[in-house]
Amino acid sequence: MRDTLPLLDLTDFPAIRRQALDTLQVNLGYMCNMKCVHCHVAAGPHRTEMMDDDNLALITRVLAARKLDTLDLTGGAPEMHPRFRELVVAARRQGVTVIDRCNLTILFEPGHETLADFLAEQQVEIVASLPCYEIDNVDRQRGKGTFNKSIAALQQLNKLGYGRPGSGLVLNLVYNPQGPTLPPEQQGLEAAYRRELMEHFDIRFNQLFALANMPIKRFGDYLITKRQFHDYLRLLKDNFSAANLPGLMCRNLVSVDWQGYLYDCDFNQQLGLRLPTDGKGKEQEQDPPHLRDLLHRELEGQPIRVAEHCYGCTAGQGSSCGGALHDES
C-alpha cells in the first residue's frame, strides 16, 4: 500500500555529507515485548529476526579498529537478544560508551529480573521511552498497563543511582507526539516532565529527548489508514529548518541492521535505503555495504542518502536520537 503513494519532491533538500564516524548504532533484532503504535520498526513479540554470532563479533572488532566512542543498541527490545549482555561487557572493556534504548517494561519480563542491576554495573546509558507523564496518553500509545510498569521501572533505576547527580549513571527519557504533529519545544516540555514526575512519583532523570514520529512502517501505516499521510509529510516539509542540518545524527553515525548491513540512519534502515556505495549518494546492486567493510573503509566526506522522511529530522526544533537539534525558545 505504501509503495503506491507518490513521494514528495526532494529536489530542494540540501545535499549533506558525512563527517568523522564516532557512533555505531546497531539494531540487534526486531523482537520486542511490546507493540507500540508509533514504532517505526514494526517490532513485536512475533518477530524472530536476530543478529547472528559472526556479526556480533564484527561489532567489537569495528569498535576497536575505528576507535569509536559510542555503541548505541536498539531493536525491538535490544535486551531480548540472548547475547546482549556479552556484547555490552565486551564494548565496555574497550572503554566504549554503551547506550541502551530501553522500553522500560522489559525490566519486568521473565528472565530479565536482573537487567537493571546489570546495566548499572556496566554503567550503561539508558534512553527510555516515556511518551507522556499521564497514564491515559501512554497506555493509548504503548498498550494498557504500560505507564504503571514504566513508572515502577524508573523508580527501580533511580534506586540504583540512575538520573541522580554525581552517580555517573545517565537516564534520559524520550517523548513522542500522540499523532501527526510536531513535538513541542523540548526545554519547556522537559521542565514539565521534571515537575510532574518528581511531584507524583519522586522520579529523577537527566534529559528529555523530544522526537518527531517518522512516517514509516507502523506509524506510516497508521497515517495511511487515517488518510493523514500526505498532510503529515507536508507539515514536516513546511517546517524545514536549515539550522538543524549541522547536527543531524547521520553525519557522525552509521546504522547497522540485524544482518550487518549499513545505512546512514535507523530510518533509512527501515526503508531499505542502504549506505551509498558509488560516491554519488546511490546504492550499487552488488556487494551492499556491510559491517565488515568498516574495518578498512572510510566514510568521511561520503554523501548521505536522503528521502522524504528526512524532513522529520529537520522540521521545527529538529529531531535526532539525542532529541532536539536547536532551541526554539
pLDDT in the model for residue 40 = 61
pLDDT in the model for residue 303 = 94
Please indicate, yes or no, if residue 326 is contained in any of the structural domains: no
Degrees to nearest 5, angle at CA 42 with 246 and 182: 45
Please indicate, yes or no, if residue 79 is contained in any of the structural domains: yes
- Cα distances (Å, whole numbers) of residue 137 to 32, 77, 177, 226: 21, 21, 10, 19
Which CATH number fits the domain that encloses residue 291?
3.20.20
Tens of pLDDT, residues 202-235: 999 999 999 898 888 777 888 889 999 999 999 9
Instruction: Please classify residue 200 by burial: count the beta carbons closer than 10 Å to its beta carbon, then call 0-12 exposed, 13-18 middle and 19+ buried.
Output: exposed
Closest CA to 138 of 158, 153, 160: 153
Which residues make beta-bridge pairs with 272? none
What value does the mean pLDDT take over residues 10-35? 86
- Helix, strand, coil % over all residues of the chain, rounded to 5: 35, 15, 50
pLDDT in the model for residue 146 = 83
What percentage of residues in the chain have a pLDDT greater than 70? Answer: 89
Please indicate, yes or no, if residue 160 is contained in any of the structural domains: yes
pLDDT in the model for residue 70 = 98
CA quadruple 301, 306, 310, 316: dihedral, nearest 10: 60
CA distance 108 to 112: 6
Domain that holds residue 154: 2-314
Closest CA to 194 of 154, 221, 224: 154
Higher pLDDT, 250 or 13: 250
DSSP state of 170: -
Q: Give the number of domains in the chain.
A: 1
Please indicate, yes or no, if residue 233 is contained in any of the structural domains: yes
Helices (H) and strands (E) in the chain, counts: 10, 8
Higher pLDDT, 321 or 245: 245
Please indicate, yes or no, if residue 324 is contained in any of the structural domains: no
pLDDT in the model for residue 7 = 44
Instruction: Please classify residue 58 by burial: count the beta carbons closer than 10 Å to its beta carbon, then call 0-12 exposed, 13-18 middle and 19+ buried.
Output: buried
Please indicate, yes or no, if residue 200 is contained in any of the structural domains: yes
CA distance 118 to 111: 13
pLDDT in the model for residue 14 = 86
Identity of the amino acid at 167: S
pLDDT for 34 beyond 80: no
Tens of pLDDT, residues 62-71: 999 999 999 9
pLDDT in the model for residue 9 = 46
Please indicate, yes or no, if residue 93 is contained in any of the structural domains: yes
pLDDT for 50 beyond 80: yes
pLDDT for 175 beyond 80: yes
Tens of pLDDT, residues 140-160: 766 677 889 999 999 999 999
Tens of pLDDT, residues 177-211: 878 999 999 999 999 999 999 999 999 999 999 98
Please indicate, yes or no, if residue 319 is contained in any of the structural domains: no
Grid cell digits, residue 3: 509503495
Closest CA to 39 of 176, 194, 218, 179: 218
Tens of pLDDT, residues 299-328: 999 999 998 889 999 999 998 888 888 765
279 — pLDDT class (breaks 50, 70, 90): low
pLDDT for 112 beyond 80: yes
Q: If you search the block for the grid coordinates 522529520, which residue do you land on?
A: 312
